Amino acid sequence: MPDIIYLTFSYRFIMNKKPLETHRDQLFADLVAEPSQFSFNEAVVDVFPDMIQRSVPGYGTVVRMTGVLTEQHAKEGTHVYDLGCSLGESIRAAELAIGDRACHLIGVDNSPAMIEKVREEMRPLSKIVWHLSDITQMEFKTASVVIMNFTLQFIPINERLKLLKQIRSSMVPGGLLILSEKLTMPDAEMNQLMVELHHDFKRSQGYSDLEIAQKRDAIDNVLIPETAEAHRTRLAEAGFSRSSIWFQCLNFASFIAIA
């Protein structure tokens, strides 16, 4: 019974956060001869909250539980990082969940448009410090929680292990990494089924076949998914003591890994 009360309080606390302004995502609604490569530019930032909610099944659950998990693992005097924070939904959920606990909350993104918007809208409302930086070039300070929600998939595969080792070396014993990713399935037929189901999900959210196809072409070779086993193996190689998928919806999953 106490655990249920604990989680209920966390969910209520997180859901009280002020939403960021957004517009309807129609970036790929018009036919173009050759869609440009996807990037997190001003046009994407303008529609990003709508885009990610309508594109990533289970995204709201991942954000809410990021707050709950942070509440359970954040240690006084340590850093809580959100790497690839975009507009900061995950780190804002963490901030609201831990309340007055004395942690250093850091949101990091390499998109100038993302950081400019979140600084503008969140500065009066939050103690989060926002950094414009390449996370592969950062020096991390002592951390108890590191959040990477749909970030690692945009890092070149040959740079992923080095980054995770750097993150792990900064973490206190028992610290928590939250790693959410789009997956590819080891079985080709099952992978194709998951891709088709994801497209069906996007259609149910109002995207047309044209939008789905053009977005797929734009993001190809920008977002590189891997299997769940590849992620678990890399987390072990990086020095995490254990890891597990705690949530999966179609080909999107979230892992927790313990330092």
Q: What is the pLDDT of residues 163-183, one digit of tens each?
A: 999 999 999 999 999 999 999
pLDDT of residue 38: 80
Question: In this structure, what is the dihedral angle of CA atoms 111, 106, 239, 259, given to the nearest 10 degrees?
Answer: -150
Q: What is the pLDDT of residues 130-167, one digit of tens each?
A: 999 999 999 999 999 999 999 999 999 999 999 999 99
Q: Which CATH class is domain 2-186+218-258?
A: alpha beta
Q: Is the pTM of this model over 0.85?
A: yes
Q: Among 137, 75, 74, 149, which residue's Cα sits nearest to residue 107?
A: 149
